[in-house]
């Protein structure tokens, strides 16, 4: 439903002003100048935004002597494909382990959060239980305290559970997001009731209606939340830094940060590791950008 | 993964199931089946830790997380004396004074620019949004080792070199405090695209009839249209963006930690707490600091709700 309004809103104004010819005839010289200035500003901004990505790519396939050379070379004199082999075989830099840790944590965190928060959101939105409202308020209260401020309390409970240096220690405490549950509740409140009633007539309970009717008809919303959660999880730093203390539990962000601070690693290796660490997200970005944009518009405005 | 144990209370409160398994008839049972696992997790990983830390903040807790050695308000009194904790709040204030207005203005500006063009619009939007895929760690790495590394081959110094300016040691210079330029630009690059998307969504929701009406009423130039139509119509979005920016600046950790470490001249609250609790194992002062920060952020959120009516009226 929100998808529908979103796309409508996006195309509405354009359709209205559509008759291109009328527009062209009216375009005065002043308007042309404004349009040209707009595009110049857009192109300059685009160059600035892409610059850091260019630096990562350039340095990751260069020799250290080229990176540190006094004169700036736009591209490496020769692309050093050997840097890949060097990075992945360097015993002091276990980047593959870090990438695997990040992937395991991000996938499980995304799946777990979708499962727990969507079910909780549906229950709060649709099941008329007498304690539903007080429980919803108890969840709302947690929205006022950002998780980063509670990292010490959370660390205390994880250490009591002896979950330091474990996957569950990094994954589980982050799953119970009041905010995601809140978003799911708001979404399910707007879900067309007629579909669920049809499921009722077919003899399904709440559980069956949710899994067979509601979830299959809400995949766009699930995808939007999933993409946002995955990116946040992959890029998370403070919590994995505190819980994953042993080098075998480092995520790729913690590993990069350690190499950056210690500087025991070649420049080109560090930049190549950075490039490898953002590659999965750039892929997510390219293929799922529609859901990402929707997710940002959806989650941001209600925050 | 801990779902089976978490769902145990649901099974207890559920009335006898009437039909085939998988079908839960009772409202109570169904509710706890859906909401129970989340609520149990929320209690264990949010409510219990918060209560535990409030208790611990009244104890002397060096190298331990067990309360018992009561010191009353001493931890709070220590923190509120002139010292590193108050310095960290000043650091946050300076940081917010730069990052909040700059991000607001630049992301709104980009959204307005984009909204006024048709050709290549999706392309430019993707380019500005792309840094969202990048982590603070990677961005800090590029800023520290390439853009602002303070030696000749760094990008900033190379560009300045073309104009005959000497090398600047960006992160090590405290007078003038060039490190602020590094810290602020890294976050600007990472977050402008995100807030631009929020403003674009807000701009799309403004009814075109309003602009037509404004044209009829004699709004001639684009500044008047912006001043009297666009900006007032973006009020809800603007309020939400300002609050998000402020709360996110308050939680700044990654770029300060990776660019400056535990340096005394720019240590925001979370970096100070990290070194107090994780590094020095002083959990009494650490939890007291966390309580103060949480209270401050709650006051800001509630005040914002009071002043702007939650900014969600739309």
The domains located in chain B, with CATH, are 3-56 (no CATH), 77-311 (1.10.3720.10)
Same domain, A207 and A63: no
Same domain, A255 and A108: yes
Same domain, A120 and A78: no
* Least trusted range by pLDDT, from A34-38, A189-193, B16-20: B16-20
B68 sits in which H/E element: none
Residue A270 lies in a domain: yes
Same domain, A49 and A126: no
B309 — pLDDT class (breaks 50, 70, 90): low
Same domain, A66 and A168: no
- Residues B99 and A49: their CA atoms lie apart, in Å, by 17
Same domain, A126 and A71: no
A8 — pLDDT class (breaks 50, 70, 90): very low
**Those residues with Cβ within 8 angstroms of residue B102's Cβ, 6 or more apart along the chain or in another chain:** B184, B188
Whether residue A105 contacts residue A233, with contact meaning beta carbons closer than 8 Å, is answered with yes
CB-hemisphere CA count at 13 Å for B75? 27
Residue A220 lies in a domain: yes
User: Each residue of B254-278: pLDDT tens digit?
Assistant: 999 999 988 888 899 999 999 998 8
Residue A16 lies in a domain: no
To the nearest whole Å, the CA of B50 is away from the closest chain A CA by 6
Size of interface A-B (CB pairs under 8 A): 299
User: Each residue of A184-239: pLDDT tens digit?
Assistant: 999 999 888 888 888 888 888 888 999 999 999 999 899 989 998 999 999 999 99
Same domain, A84 and A227: no
Residue A1 lies in a domain: no
Tell me which residue in B27, B258, B294 faces A129 most closely, judged by beta carbons: B27
Whether residue A153 contacts residue B290, with contact meaning beta carbons closer than 8 Å, is answered with yes
Is residue B185 scored above 60 in pLDDT?
yes
Average pLDDT, chain A: 84
Is residue A7 scored above 50 in pLDDT?
no
- A155: chain B residues, CB-CB within 8 Å: 277-278
pLDDT (0 to 100) of residue B48: 92
Tell me which residue in B1, B34, B201 faces A119 most closely, judged by beta carbons: B34
- Residues B207 and B291: their CA atoms lie apart, in Å, by 44
- A16: chain B residues, CB-CB within 8 Å: 208
**Cβ separation of A122 and B34 shorter than 8 Å?**
yes
Same domain, A96 and A132: yes
Residue A15 lies in a domain: no
Same domain, A277 and A252: yes
- B258: chain A residues, CB-CB within 8 Å: 257, 260-261
Query: What is the number of structural domains in chain A?
Result: 2
To the nearest whole Å, the CA of A238 is away from the closest chain B CA by 7
Same domain, A273 and A143: yes
Domain harbouring A185, CATH code: 1.10.3720.10
Q: Which residue of A has its CA nearest to B127?
A: A46
Last residue in a domain, options A88, A119, A144? A88
Same domain, A48 and A109: no
CA A12 to the chain's CA centroid: 28
Residue A4 lies in a domain: no
**Cβ separation of A67 and B153 shorter than 8 Å?**
yes
To the nearest whole Å, the CA of A223 is away from the closest chain B CA by 16
Residue A3 lies in a domain: no
Residue A6 lies in a domain: no
- Domain span at A54: 21-88
Q: Is B287 on the interface with A (CB under 8 A)?
A: yes
Tokens 């309360």, located at residue: B67
Same domain, A277 and A134: yes
Is residue A5 scored above 80 in pLDDT?
no
pTM for the structure as a whole: 0.86
Average pLDDT, chain B: 84
CA B49 to the chain's CA centroid: 21
């Amino acid at each position: 439903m929100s998808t529908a309004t979103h796309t409508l809103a996006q195309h509405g104004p354009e359709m209205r002003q559509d008759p291109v010819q009328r527009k062209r005839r009216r375009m005065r010289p002043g308007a042309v100048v404004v349009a040209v200035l707009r595009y110049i500003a857009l192109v300059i901004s685009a160059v600035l935004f892409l610059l850091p990505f260019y630096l990562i790519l350039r340095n990751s396939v260069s020799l250290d002597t080229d990176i540190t050379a006094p004169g700036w070379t736009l591209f490496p004199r020769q692309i050093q494909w050997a840097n890949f082999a060097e990075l992945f075989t360097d015993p002091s830099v276990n980047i593959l382990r870090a990438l695997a840790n990040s992937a395991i944590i991000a996938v499980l965190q995304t799946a777990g959060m979708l499962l727990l928060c969507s079910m909780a959101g549906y229950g709060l939105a649709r099941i008329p239980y007498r304690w539903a409202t007080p429980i919803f308020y108890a969840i709302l209260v947690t929205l006022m305290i950002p998780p980063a401020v509670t990292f010490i309390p959370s660390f205390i409970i994880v250490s009591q559970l002896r979950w330091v240096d474990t996957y569950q220690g990094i994954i589980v405490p982050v799953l119970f997001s009041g905010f995601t549950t809140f978003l799911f509740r708001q979404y399910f409140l707007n879900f067309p009731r007629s579909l669920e009633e049809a499921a009722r007539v077919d003899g399904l309970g709440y559980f069956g209606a949710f899994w067979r009717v509601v979830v299959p008809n809400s995949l766009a919303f699930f995808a939007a939340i999933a993409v946002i959660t995955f990116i946040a999880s992959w890029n998370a730093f403070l919590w994995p830094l505190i819980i994953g203390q042993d080098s075998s539990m480092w995520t790729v962000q913690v590993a990069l940060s350690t190499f950056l601070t210690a500087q025991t690693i070649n420049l080109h290796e560090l930049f190549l590791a950075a490039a490898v660490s953002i590659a999965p997200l750039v892929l997510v970005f390219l293929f799922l950008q529609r859901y990402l944009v929707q997710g940002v518009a959806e989650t941001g405005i209600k925050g | 993964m801990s779902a089976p144990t978490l769902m145990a209370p649901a099974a207890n409160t559920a009335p006898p199931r009437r039909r085939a398994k998988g079908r839960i008839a009772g409202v109570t049972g169904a509710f706890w089946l859906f909401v129970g696992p989340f609520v149990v997790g929320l209690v264990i990983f949010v409510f219990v830790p918060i209560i535990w830390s409030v208790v611990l903040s009244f104890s002397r807790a060096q190298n331990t997380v067990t309360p018992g050695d009561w010191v009353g308000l001493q931890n709070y009194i220590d923190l509120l004396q002139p010292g590193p904790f108050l310095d960290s709040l000043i650091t946050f204030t300076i940081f917010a004074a730069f990052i909040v207005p700059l991000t607001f203005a630049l992301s709104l500006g980009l959204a307005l620019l984009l909204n006024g063009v048709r050709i290549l619009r999706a392309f430019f939007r993707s380019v500005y949004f792309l840094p969202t895929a990048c982590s603070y760690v990677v961005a800090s790495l590029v800023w520290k080792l390439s853009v602002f590394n303070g030696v000749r081959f760094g990008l900033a110094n190379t560009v300045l070199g073309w104009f005959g300016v000497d090398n600047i040691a960006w992160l090590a210079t405290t007078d003038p405090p060039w490190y602020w330029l590094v810290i602020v630009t890294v976050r600007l690059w990472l977050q402008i695209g995100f807030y631009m998307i929020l403003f674009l969504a807000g701009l799309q929701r403004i009814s075109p009839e309003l602009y037509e009406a404004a044209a009829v009423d004699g709004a001639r130039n684009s500044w008047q249209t912006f001043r009297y139509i666009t900006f007032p119509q973006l009020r809800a979005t603007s309020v939400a963006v300002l609050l998000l920016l402020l709360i996110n600046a308050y939680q700044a950790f990654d770029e300060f930690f990776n660019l400056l470490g535990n340096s005394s001249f720019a240590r925001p609250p979370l970096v100070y707490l990290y070194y107090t609790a994780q590094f020095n194992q002083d959990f009494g002062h650490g939890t007291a600091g966390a309580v103060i920060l949480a209270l401050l952020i709650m006051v800001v959120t509630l005040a914002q709700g009071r002043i702007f009516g939650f900014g969600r009226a739309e």
